[in-house]
């Protein structure tokens, strides 16, 4: 079912996931309602489905001659002017990384102390999220558009605290909550995932994830008008197809048979069972970046928009629905 050319009735959401601290992608996201309005399409609700913090901290070393250097993607970058420094920091931000300018001595002190590295990383991650809340509150002010955000398996709980700021008008952290998106339709959000070879901060067993889901959906009054915003996609649904990895290697390597990379479904069996059991209106998922797809599990339309955050490309999905019925959807990229 694809988007019709004419404006649809009902409610339209714009869903993205796995933007991993890319400010470029988040700016595109909060600007989406204005952009699509110029194209004759309305967005009522914005939703982020997890993995919103970055993966790396890049130190920028201030050298004795007033120049700077940084190692980015295996290459030493040297800059001399403020304009070049800004360009470097913008490039680091585009990749979803954090940067910190340091003196040479400070760099060596922090580098030698894993706890100091972790503390600085968390601090910068929190600052980035605080900036995003400010941006969303500013850009969406007076529009009536709400932005719901949840964490994912890569997001440490302490770094997620800024998304639960009190008194916001447009930006709302929604994990482990049942929220009303429009007074008629509800949404349940769960950000944890099943174990991965990367040992990310928020992984639990598939059984524990299933129990968490059951406890949340017990609060839903009308499952036919409910959205499951679960970061982990349902197992073997085409939303979770990716290379199978050998967990015994460091880093994990793709398994190859007969010269071909072996693909498998890396999603959650408990998520699939919950969708098949409760049959919500819509399933919103992420986690597997390379598996952009839409699938039907019974009456439930499930989507994974995929992710190309490292290239500054925002992948998303527009979904229109009314009275518990999906009227149309469209994958987006830009």
DSSP 97-111: -EEEEEEHHHHHHHH
Cβ(79)–Cβ(89) below 8 Å: no
Instruction: Return the sign of the alpha-carbon dihedral for residues 304, 320, 282, 25.
Output: positive
The DSSP call for residue 63 is P
| Residue spans of beta strands (DSSP E) within 177-246 | 178-180, 186-190, 226-230, 241-243, 245-246
Among 261, 247, 263, residue whose Cα is nearest residue 199: 247
SS3 58: strand
Show contacts of 288-292: CB within 8 Å, 24+ apart.
Answer: 288/233, 288/239, 288/240, 288/241, 288/242, 289/18, 290/241, 290/242, 291/233, 291/238, 291/239, 291/240, 291/241, 291/242, 292/331
Cα 205 versus chain centre, distance: 21
| Cross-strand pairs, 146 | 45
Domains along the chain?
13-57+118-333 (3.60.21.10), 58-117 (no CATH)
Cα–Cα distances (Å) from 286 to 16, 57, 133, 206, 305, in that order, read 8, 23, 21, 16, 7
In the predicted model, is pLDDT for residue 94 greater than 90?
A: no
pLDDT digits (tens, 9 = 90+) for 116-173: 999 999 999 999 999 999 999 999 999 999 999 999 999 999 999 999 999 999 999 9
How many whole angstroms separate alpha carbon 279 and alpha carbon 324? 11
How would residue 5 be classed by pLDDT, with cut points 50, 70 and 90?
very low
How many whole angstroms separate alpha carbon 320 and alpha carbon 189? 19
In this structure, the number of other CB atoms found within 10 A of the CB of residue 267 comes to: 28
DSSP 256-271: EETTEEPEEE-SBHHH
pLDDT digits (tens, 9 = 90+) for 235-270: 999 999 999 999 999 999 999 999 999 999 999 999
pTM of the model: 0.95
Element (H, E) at 37: helix 23-38
pLDDT digits (tens, 9 = 90+) for 13-68: 999 999 999 999 999 999 999 999 999 899 999 999 999 999 999 999 999 888 99
SS3 122: helix
> How much is the pLDDT for 64?
82
Percent of the chain with pLDDT over 90: 93
DSSP 224-236: GGEEEEESSPBTT
> How much is the pLDDT for 65?
85
């Amino acid at each position: 079912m694809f988007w019709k050319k004419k404006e649809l009735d009902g409610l339209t959401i714009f869903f993205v996931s796995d933007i991993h601290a890319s400010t470029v992608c988040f700016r595109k996201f909060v600007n989406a309602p204005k952009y699509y309005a110029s194209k004759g399409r309305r967005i009522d609700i914005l939703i982020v489905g997890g993995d919103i913090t970055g993966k790396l901290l890049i130190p920028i070393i201030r050298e004795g001659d007033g120049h700077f250097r940084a190692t980015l993607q295996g290459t030493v970058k040297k800059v001399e002017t403020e304009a070049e420094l800004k360009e470097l920091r913008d490039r680091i931000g585009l990749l979803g990384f954090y940067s910190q300018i340091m003196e040479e001595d400070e760099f060596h002190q922090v580098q030698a102390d894993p706890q100091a590295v972790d503390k600085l990383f968390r601090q910068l991650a929190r600052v980035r999220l605080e900036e995003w809340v400010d941006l969303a509150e500013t850009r969406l002010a007076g529009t009536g558009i709400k932005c719901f955000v949840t964490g994912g398996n890569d997001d440490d709980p302490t770094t997620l605290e800024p998304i639960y700021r009190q008194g916001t008008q447009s930006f709302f952290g929604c994990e482990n909550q049942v929220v009303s998106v429009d007074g008629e339709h509800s949404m349940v959000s769960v950000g944890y995932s099943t174990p991965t070879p990367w040992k990310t901060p928020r992984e639990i067993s598939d059984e524990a994830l299933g129990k968490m889901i059951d406890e949340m959906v017990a609060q839903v009054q009308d499952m036919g008008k409910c959205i499951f915003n679960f970061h982990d996609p349902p197992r073997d649904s085409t939303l979770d197809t990716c290379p199978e990895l050998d967990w015994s290697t460091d880093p994990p390597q793709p398994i190859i048979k007969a010269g071909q990379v072996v693909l498998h479904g890396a999603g959650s069996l408990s998520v699939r069972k919950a969708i098949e059991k409760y049959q919500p209106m819509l399933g919103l998922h992420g986690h597997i970046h390379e598996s952009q797809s839409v699938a039907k599990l019974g009456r439930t339309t499930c989507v994974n928009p995929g992710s190309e955050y490292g290239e500054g490309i925002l992948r998303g999905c527009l979904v229109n629905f009314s009275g518990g019925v999906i009227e149309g959807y469209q994958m987006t990229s830009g």
